[in-house]
Amino acid sequence: MQRVVVFGGGVAAAMAALAVGRAYARLGTDVTWIDTGEAPAPHAALIAPPDLATFHRLLGIDEAALVRHAAATVNMGQQFAGWSGGDHAFLHAYGDAGSPFASLPFVQHWTRARQAGLGVALEDFCLAAAAAKQGRTGAPREAATRQAVKQGWHLDAARYAKLLRAACKRADVRIVSCTSAAVRTGGDRIGRIVLADGAPVDADLFIDTHGALVASLDPDATSERPGFCDRIIRASAPAFDPLPLYSRVAAHAAGWLTLIPLSGRTAIEFAYDSKTLSDADAPAALATVLGRSVDTAPPAPLANSARARAWVGNVVAVGPAAGAAPPLDGAELLLLQLGIAQMVLLWPIDRAAMVEADIYNEELAGTRARVADFTAQHFRLNARIGEPFWDDARTTPISAELASKIDLFAARGMFAHFNHEAHVEDSWALVMAGHGVTPRSFDPQALLTEDQALMTEFQRQLRAVASDVHAMETHVDALRRMRG
């Protein structure tokens, strides 16, 4: 591809333009970003899962830049509170759910011990969870647990978009500001777009984060997907002190409240169902849940639509143009990053044929379905009884793949594997166990371990977790080190 145009604005367009420029500019690809002016919503923040840390290396963005310019704090998971009613909370941490033992995943031994009366939660054996709850991050120099501890980010959306835009300029991406353009199509392809000032822009490949380009070729391919909340209020509150290493997702009668810790402020997302709570009453409901009033942006819609095909002709829809992401578990940045990475991997060789489109569409549709399943499990497994929103959420139809995952874990602590999985088994285990699913049985090979040997191993792992946490640096020290 000699000429590539990215059409759109905000984080998605900047990230796509930067990724393509970094990957292919040295091979002679000219990248033009037509910035249509979309910007992150006021007060918006982003939850970046650990995979984005690796992707940032492709983009040439280091942790110091994120901490200095995007108000970044370290993200080691999400805490879910009140999803079972009452004060119960659990942490979906980005790490291993215990260390394997006697050639079996730890969850098999935990299930056996749980049935015998063990009162220790699965997350207590997870180094990442224990560290996050104690405000510790990084890796100890001499780890006793040998567990993986993964780190993502909490990011101020507007400042992150500016950081990506500045990186585009350094990568010699040509940026043209234009809020509207006319699309000239021929068959199943776009020939050119004409900017508002009449200037024509030609390209071999168009990357669309706005949605107008792909809609011009495939106008009827967008469909509504099952959603849970359709409205959101965003706001800000003073920063936490000390800064937590996880966001908090607290259920309320009509939806959920997410608190995202940033350097300098706490971002607030109040998602709700308009059939249960009106826009007029939502600000007061938010104040009640928070325990105080805050300045908010007006209520905004939460979209649930998605495209059947993201790559049509010579247009690849990325980010919001491909479809709305589930509003939990960092899905927005996860799907954006995976979509861009897959496009870079399947970069078209023949500009006339673009045979890569079919495999891209299959990969992206499968990934989107598995990411949606991960979010949907929270609602299927919620235990808030007698509240219309949550009762409906619990009975909302789920995919056959998610039903198989829940059924197999509930039966014996194992997971059904499908193509395009986006989350590791331990993440599924921590979430399902956190929602109160204890498997009814376990791998019979777990019985080969004597009871006393098993209890000794449990005690060893808990001591090792405590030792490793103590050897980690605090969140404050980590951010100071990252700033340089």
Q: Which two tokens stand for residue 105?
A: 């995943």
Task: Please answer whether residues 249 and 257 qualify as being in contact, where contact means their C-beta atoms are separated by less than 8 angstroms.
Answer: yes
pTM: 0.95
Q: CA 149 to CA 96: how far, in whole Å?
A: 7
Closest residue by Cα to residue 474 from 482, 484, 463: 482
Q: How far is the C-alpha of 179 from the C-alpha of 210, rounded, in Å?
A: 11
Report the alpha-carbon distance of residue 34 to residue 174 in Å, rounded: 8
Maximal C-alpha separation, the chain? 79
- Separation of alpha carbons 129 and 122, rounded Å: 10
Instruction: Tell me how far apart the alpha carbons of residues 146 and 99 are, in angstroms, rounded to a whole number.
Output: 7
Spatial separation of the C-alpha atoms in residues 401 and 98, rounded to whole Å: 25
Parallel, antiparallel, or unpaired: how do β-strands 174-177 and 152-156 relate?
Answer: unpaired
CA 416 to chain centre: 22
Cβ atoms of 382 and 32 closer than 8 Å: no
**Cβ contact 426:118 at 8 Å:** no
Q: Which CATH number fits domain 3-74+155-223+304-368: 3.40.640.10, 3.10.350.10, 3.50.50.60, 3.40.50.1980?
A: 3.50.50.60
Per-residue pLDDT 10s for the chain (484 aa) are 689 999 999 999 999 999 999 999 999 999 999 999 999 999 999 999 998 888 999 999 999 999 999 999 999 999 999 999 888 999 999 999 999 999 999 999 999 999 999 999 999 999 999 999 999 998 777 778 888 889 999 999 999 999 999 999 999 999 999 988 899 998 889 989 999 888 999 999 999 999 999 999 998 777 777 679 999 999 999 999 999 999 999 999 999 999 999 999 999 999 999 999 999 999 999 999 999 989 899 999 998 888 999 999 999 999 999 999 998 999 999 999 999 999 999 999 988 889 999 999 999 999 999 999 999 999 999 999 999 999 999 999 999 999 999 999 999 999 999 999 999 999 999 999 999 999 999 999 999 999 999 999 999 999 999 999 999 999 999 999 998 8
| Alpha helices (H) along 116-192 | 127-133, 157-170
The DSSP H or E segment spanning 236 is strand 231-237
Reading the block at residue 70, the tokens are: 């995007």
Amino acid at 341: A
How far apart are the C-alpha atoms of 154 and 123, rounded to whole Å?
A: 22
Contacts of 15 (CB under 8 A, 6+ apart): 59, 164, 319, 336, 337, 340
Domain ranges of the chain: 3-74+155-223+304-368, 93-153+371-474, 231-301
The one-letter amino acid code at 231 reads R
Integer Cα distance of 421 and 51 in angstroms: 13
